[in-house]
Amino acid sequence: MLYFFARYLEQTFAPPGFGVFQYVWFRSAAAAITALLISFIVGPRIIQALKRNQIGEQAKTELASTGNHVNKAGTPTMGGLIVLTALLLPTILWANILNPYIVLIVLITAWLGGVGFLDDYLKVIKKFKKGLIGRYKIVGQVGIGLILGGSIFFFPEWFGAGFSKVNTLTTIPFAKNINLDFGWLYLPMVIFVVTATSNAVNLTDGLDGLAIGTVSISALALALICYVSGNAKFANYLSIIHLRGSDELTIFCAALIGAGLGFMWFNAFPAQVFMGDTGSLALGGAIGGLCILVKKELLLPILGGIFFAETLSVILQVTYFRYTKRKYGEGRRLFKMAPLHHHFEKSGWHESKIVARFYIIAVLLAIITLATFKIR
């Protein structure tokens, strides 16, 4: 909204300095700072409201003897409301809200935030042990996947001239001037990516600061990718798909970084608040949505390597347990506990050490992701 107001003032009164509002880099910086400030302002208020209404984390009996988890029962959850407020408000304020990329990424984030909020509400407030029934959660994830994929597949003209030639393409890592065309498989692919990434970040959200930190690192890399994808010169230089208008997503990524840093202030060990499914599903969907919108879906296993490893550890654990139970009559485990971060906790690592080392890995994976544009 500020973007349109500033453009109106510039065109009507031509005040000096207002031309800076047309630059994505300026509005991205402004969005990041605004998001950080909003986090600091609304964070304590939301935490106090959650405490006042006794909206706290339930005790996890399987982790009672591990690390500091016994002391986490009662810690306010649904803190994803802080992240979503600090992310969406600056995006709406500083971005071009008529840009199709911005419309879709805001819709994805808000939609999955709503699904996560409903899950947390049923689990924490209504005391339904499993929260939102799994199939209903999947319906919500598939629904937004259909909207995103359908918009790109059936209405490419919305994104501008020439988009219909690239709407089902994706960049192949380490391959120069070679793109993969999903064709009619594009819709199932989008649904899978949105569902998988939202669930993967949800699984990663098990230690203080782990999910929000790794998401913020991924958002930093994606900010650069969104910017070069929307810039014709950079896209041509790097031999990637040029998507006119996609650089506006840089503002969303910047707001995500600011909101992430702001939330980490309260979520770092020992956490004052947890994001809950309200935050984790929304942020996971946002990361997946960004990769889909800038045609970098195949980079997700690299950029989101932490999320991928956490999810894979759960799949392997469940599969191996079921296999050994059928074969030997009793289930056996590959890991001491899944997701992966709990395996390291059971191995005696302090959660702060696990989080710090996962951050280091996430930074390395982000660097490798960016390097794929030149190492080919």
What are 253-310's pLDDT values in tens digits?
999 999 999 999 999 999 999 999 999 999 999 999 999 999 999 999 999 999 999 9
- The whole-angstrom separation of Cα 239 and Cα 31 is 29
Q: What is the pTM of this model?
A: 0.95
Confidence check: pLDDT of 146 > 80: yes
Q: How do residues 65-103 score in pLDDT, each as one tens digit?
A: 666 666 777 899 999 999 999 999 999 999 999 999 999
Sign of the C-alpha dihedral computed for residues 242, 245, 250 and 252 taken in this order: negative
Q: How do residues 111-126 score in pLDDT, each as one tens digit?
A: 999 999 999 999 988 8
Are the beta carbons of 171 and 133 closer than 8 angstroms?
no
Q: What is the pLDDT of residue 374?
A: 87
- The whole-angstrom separation of Cα 293 and Cα 104 is 9
The two most distant CA atoms of the chain are separated, in Å, by 80
